[in-house]
Amino acid sequence: MAQTGAAASGLVKCSMPNMISRTYAETFFALRWMEKDARYAIAEGEALGVPLRTVRAAWEAFALGLNDPALADADFSAVIASVAKGPSA
C-alpha cells in the first residue's frame, strides 16, 4: 500500500484489512449511516447547485450495499462486497 496520498489516509488504513479479509463485524461506521450521510450531502449539493458527482457515485455503491440486509449494519468497508456482487437482478 502506498505510504503517501489518499491511499495512506487513516480511513483507508482502517478499512483495508476488513476489505481484504472480507470481515465486517467490527463496525467503525455502519454502511447504512454512510449511505445516509452521502444522501444528505447530495441533497445539500443540489440545493446549492453543486452536483457532487463523486459523492453520488459513492452513494450509489453504499445504497447498493443496503440491498443486502446483512450488510446494512456492517462496517461501511463492506461496500466492497456489494460492489463485487453488482446490482440485484
Q: Are 65 and 30 in contact (CB under 8 A)?
A: no
Which three cell numbers, joined as nine digits, stand for 45? 449539493
Whether 89 shows a pLDDT value over 70: the answer reads no
Q: What pLDDT score was predicted for residue 7?
A: 65
Domains and CATH numbers, the chain: 6-85 (1.10.1040.10)
Q: What pLDDT score was predicted for residue 56?
A: 95
Closest to 83 (Cα-Cα) out of 37, 22, 13:
22
- Give pLDDT tens digits for 9-50: 776 777 777 777 787 777 888 899 999 999 999 999 999 999
pLDDT > 70: percent of the chain: 84
Pick from 20-24, 76-80, 84-88: least confident:
84-88
Q: Are 77 and 19 in contact (CB under 8 A)?
A: yes
Phi, psi at 30, each rounded to 5°: -65, 145
Is the pTM of the predicted complex or chain greater than 0.85?
no
